[in-house]
Amino acid sequence: MKMEYRFVTIWYIDAPIEAVCEAISHSLNWPQWWRNVESVVEFAPGDARGIGSVRRYTWRGRLPYRLTFDICVIHAVPLTSVEGIASGDVEGQGRWSFATDGAVTSARFEWQIRTTTVWMNLLALFARPLIKWNHDGVMRRGGEALARMLNARLVGIAHD
């Protein structure tokens, strides 16, 4: 049985929305500033907005495992949102959405997935709190790293 997870993280960064969106949309560069991203490999570039782009991501958090999955971008609106379908160690959907409140940009990531690896599904009932803790830590470090890379202040992080 595949276990389902839903994670929501919001980064509040004192930086222009253009800079935040640019950094998020150029995920091939994530390994340079987000230490939990081990690699990003592009298989298809997609159109001018990135729709149809396919990239393989390998992640590692604090727990002793890696996740590798492909994301195919299915929707993108500049300075507003980008959405993709995941397949691999996890399958489901992810969505970044962006907004501003004065000088602060919010970058909201929603991740609704199912695990496909046998060991994660077998341990899910016991490991669910650890998996959430690991995910939240990866996202916290990502927000801190993005702010550092943009030479901006991370105003806050919210997890749902």
pLDDT, tens digit, 9 for 90 and up, residues 18-54: 999 999 999 999 999 999 999 999 999 999 999 999 9
Interatomic CA distance for residues 37 and 93, integer angstroms = 18
pLDDT, tens digit, 9 for 90 and up, residues 106-129: 999 999 999 998 888 888 778 889
Phi/psi-derived region of residue 97, left when phi > 0, alpha when psi is between -120 and 50, beta in every other case: beta
Interatomic CA distance for residues 51 and 159, integer angstroms = 27
Compute φ and ψ for 12, nearest 5 degrees.
-110, 115
Give the pLDDT score at 53.
Answer: 98
Give the pLDDT score at 3.
Answer: 87
Q: Which domain holds residue 144?
A: 4-159
Residue 127: both structure tokens together: 């490991």
Give the pLDDT score at 159.
Answer: 95
Predicted structure pTM score: 0.94
pLDDT, tens digit, 9 for 90 and up, residues 89-103: 999 999 999 999 999
Domain count, the chain: 1
